Amino acid sequence: MSPERARELIAWTGRPMVMRITNTTLTAGAAALALLAAGCGTGTTPSAAAAPPARTTTAHTTTTHTTTAHTTTPGTAPAAVDAGRATAASAVSARYGSAAQSTATRTVTARTTATRTTGAAPARCRTTGLRARVGRQDAGAGNRYAPLVLTNTSGKTCWVYGFVGLVLIDGRGDVLRTRTRRESVTPHRVTLRPGASAHARLHWTVVPAGHETRCPASARLMIIPPDEMAHLEVPFKATVCDDGRIDAWPMAPGAGL
């Protein structure tokens, strides 16, 4: 509309016309604002649409349910596991405990048997349970041989093994030079029942040797049984030359050569 036409209309219609136009314009503006408001409302809809996920109780409840289930599982599973472990532990304890007890019983039985066996086995003969003597001397070409006899006087079976120790003593009780030489013979254990005897073969010479002009005479013989410290003394009248050398054999069964 041209300005001239507008002025004509204003002049013809007067003030009220202007008010109607203004009202119409305001109405149109109000409608536009309403549309804009509606548009803004529509624009806020995505936020509202986004709200359901934040508001989604179901998802949150599901998570809570899952958490609840997780909480329930640890509470239930350990009980079952503990029960299973307790059962298994009881079974293992019953099985291996019985086995261990049986083994311990067998061990005790074995030890008891070993103790009984050891108690029944003879021990080494002690000096206090032996009696000594020197048997008949055999002479030949300046040499002398005699059995040194040890007899078991104890009430129990015992054994002797090895060589005796010897010391010559003269008539005044003085010790004479004595050299006991062991023969190269393998010793063997000799078991002696009560009253049984074993002997060691002795050899010496009565012919002076080297620088000797005469040989000392002995009156007694000190005897130390094999592996013992205590000694026995027996009469032993002999002339032992070669600086008191006596050759000894290991203990053997019997009382004679």
**How far is residue 120's CA from residue 112's CA, in Å, rounded to a whole number?**
12
Between 23 and 144, the more confident residue is 144
Q: Which two tokens stand for residue 96?
A: 């291996």
The DSSP bridge pattern shows strands 138-140 and 130-134 to be unpaired
Check whether 245 has a pLDDT greater than 70. yes
Q: Does domain 127-253 have CATH number 2.60.40?
A: yes
Mean pLDDT to the nearest integer, 136-162? 95
pLDDT recorded at residue 11:
56
Q: What interhelical angle do 3-13 and 15-55 show, nearest 10?
A: 110
Alpha-carbon separation of residue 88 from 39, 77, 83, 102 (angstroms): 73, 16, 9, 21
pLDDT recorded at residue 48:
40
The DSSP bridge pattern shows strands 179-182 and 245-248 to be parallel
Cβ count within 10 A of residue 251: 26
pLDDT recorded at residue 67:
42
pLDDT in tens, 94-109: 433 433 344 444 444 4
